[in-house]
Amino acid sequence: MIERLAVIGVGLIGGSLARALKSAETVGEVIGCGRSRENLELALELGVIDGFSCDPAEAVRDADMVFIAVPLGAIARVFERIRGQLSEAAVVTDGGSVKGSVVADAKRVFGEIPPWLVPGHPIAGTEHNGVASSFPELYRHRRVILTPLAQTDADARARVRAMWEQTGAEVTEMSVAHHDEVLAATSHLPHMLAFGLVDALSRMRSNDEIFRYAAGGFRDFTRIASSSPEMWRDICLANADALSTMLARFGAEMGKLSETIRREDGETLLRIFERARAARDRYVDGVGAEGDGSSRADKTPD
Ligand SMILES: NC(=O)c1ccc[n+]([C@@H]2O[C@H](COP(=O)([O-])OP(=O)(O)OC[C@H]3O[C@@H](n4cnc5c(N)ncnc54)[C@H](O)[C@@H]3O)[C@@H](O)[C@H]2O)c1
Ligand SMILES: O=C(O)C(=O)C[C@]1(C(=O)O)C=C[C@@H](O)C=C1
């Protein structure tokens, strides 16, 4: 049971955690914090939080659990504001999509990695942002990755794991570097392809023409290009090395595919598409009926 949860950044990710813990009845009080008073008032109205402060230092006072869910570029400033303000019992975790930058920010601000910091990342989300898009089932049957460090306190790690399990998530652990490499491939690269494709096409053809003739394939493939530009700028900057490597490898693969098409080599094309379809079928079978950890794009916020 968490007595007082401070959520810094009450948007899709922070709001959904608060809603999930409230519906599991495993949190006493939720204090929100963010840069916009209007958003915090909405969160209060929706019952996502029980009170708020625009100052992180005040929001974390007496909290036994602190969840930071702001864009990655804002995390260092939050660390600076909460330094020296936490209660003895407090554990701090975050939901940032890249872990290397969060750990580097913590080292810079606190001088060393504090034992009470448990970096984390829920592999669940949608292309929508803001508290109005949050919902309590977001993490159910989804994965959450924790990237504890050698310095991380065992009790802090167990408490963060227990919190996520109460949302219905499956918690796994891996190293910071491995997390950032894996997510560069499975999350960051696909977002670059979607953003890049929509941007390139909209500059090649008029918007009207794209939307008039685009059907399900275009819509499915590009859903994630509706995601928050600010959040994705920060993810790219925070994971620049791993993401650039992935983009270069993928670019080379696209070059080979393009060559194969130019050669009119139908046999090779068939082999590539069969291999890809089999890999996707295995992936879909593996994740089962509950889905793949991706969004509920059609969810209407309550
Ligand atoms: N959206 C996803 O699919 C997804 C999935 C997993 C993890 N994440 C990560 O979760 C974090 C939050 O993403 P989100 O989708 O909830 O975004 P969001 O835009 O819905 O919410 C972010 C919240 O942070 C607040 N904020 C922004 N800058 C701030 C600052 N300087 N100080 C205090 N508050 C500030 C905003 O007002 C907003 O309420 C990001 O780090 C993102 O990388 C996102
Ligand atoms: O489903 C979506 O809309 C998402 O973008 C969620 C998604 C992803 O699957 O790539 C995006 C960023 C994250 O850090 C984790 C999950």
Region at 81 (left for phi over 0; alpha for psi -120 to 50; beta for the rest): alpha
Sign of the torsion formed by the C-alpha atoms of 115, 78, 121 and 244: negative
CA of 234, closest atom in ligand 1? 43
Query: Which domains, and CATH codes, for the chain?
Result: 1-302 (3.40.50.720)
Does the beta carbon of 224 lie inside 6 Å of ligand 2? yes
Does the beta carbon of 138 lie inside 6 Å of ligand 1? no
The per-residue pLDDT for 213 is 84
Residue 299 confidence (pLDDT) above 70: no
Residue 292 confidence (pLDDT) above 50: no
Note the pLDDT tens digit of each residue in 128-183: 999 999 999 999 999 999 999 999 999 999 999 999 999 999 999 999 999 999 99
Q: How far apart are CA 92 and CA 5, in angstroms?
A: 10
Does the beta carbon of 129 lie inside 6 Å of ligand 1? yes
The per-residue pLDDT for 288 is 62
**Over the chain, what is the mean pLDDT?**
94
Report residue 295's pLDDT band, with 50, 70 and 90 as the boundaries: very low
Does the beta carbon of 127 lie inside 6 Å of ligand 2? yes
The per-residue pLDDT for 211 is 77
User: What are 14's two structure tokens?
Assistant: 């922070």
Other Cβ atoms closer than 10 A to 51: 12
Question: Could you give the count of Cα atoms lying within 13 Å of 150 in the half-sphere of its Cβ?
Answer: 1
CA–centroid distance, 175 to ligand 1, in Å, is 23
The per-residue pLDDT for 92 is 98
CA–centroid distance, 284 to ligand 1, in Å, is 28
Report residue 70's pLDDT band, with 50, 70 and 90 as the boundaries: very high
The per-residue pLDDT for 206 is 75
Report residue 253's pLDDT band, with 50, 70 and 90 as the boundaries: very high
Instruction: Report which protein residue has its CA nearest ligand 2's atom 7.
Output: 125
CA of 125, closest atom in ligand 2? 6
